[in-house]
Structure 1
Amino acid sequence: MGKRARRRGKAGGSPAAPGGPSSFADLGLDLDLDLDVGATDAGVPGPTVDAELTGDLGVLTLKTAMSPGTRTEYAAVRRGERSSPSAAREDAWHRAVEFLYERLVVGWAVAGVPTTGQKALLQRLRVATPAERSAIRDALRAHLAVHLPDVEAP
């Protein structure tokens, strides 16, 4: 019991004023919260689209939006500000591709076998063949041109 509750007990008052509202519904507020939002879509906010990779390299599922903070962070990564001073320009370019992949890709299905979850997707990218990496870069560039034209592609 806290200090306020003890004071209320001495004064004989209750937490709610007599005759006052006893719930949010009495105030005309509908606070029916849907706590299962995101449970069916693996926590992916907003709409997604599928991008077919060239050849038989699978299908990427990509988010169609990026938050302002993510855009700012991507711009810094793209300029090489998040790399060590000795990092080459090409390292910053590869990091920018990986950053976009981390933030936009929510699924990758290869030969009907889906990969989801950020950790699994990142591991899959790191073991990707050069042809897969090239197809991913092309898909990310095309996706940015259509859905996020103000974001500079790697």
Structure 2
Amino acid sequence: MMVNLNLHERVWHYGLVGSRLIEAASVVRRTPMRIWPKQFGTAWPRFEAMTAAELFAFKRELQEAGQLEAWEREQNRQRIPPSGIEIELCEEALGWMPRYFKHEPDDVAQSVGFWAAKTYSIDEAEIPQWVLYGLKIISRGLRRDRVRVRG
């Protein structure tokens, strides 16, 4: 009998679960969302032309206020929407909380979700005990259900 052992297979653990939840929060932040229906109007972007003199005066005012660099950075900012696979992995990760926390108090899911939304890297700081508790519940559930590690 031949046994196929994949020594490089990844296993769910609290750090990996935490990383996936942080990535899911990042995807949610990058996803274009509408908070109200579009008003009547045109699909064309609003554009107000400035003369060269008006633009020079505007930039001068910003520079005097110490806000020119921030304004220029904002003008050059480009939002990169998440890819399809990022959205798919995000939806998978967000589904873990209701699935594995159904027998836990509501504050466990809320705490883990809040931590993931406010953390930008798993290496950023130590994981608080109450979050670690929730991450371990999810990782045990994923291993028990034999969910394959993707991403």
Superposition TM-score, scaled by structure 1 size: 0.27
Which structure: greater helix fraction?
2
Highest relative contact order (Cα 8 Å, sep 6+), 1 or 2?
A: 2
Max radius of gyration: which structure?
1
Which structure: greater strand fraction?
1
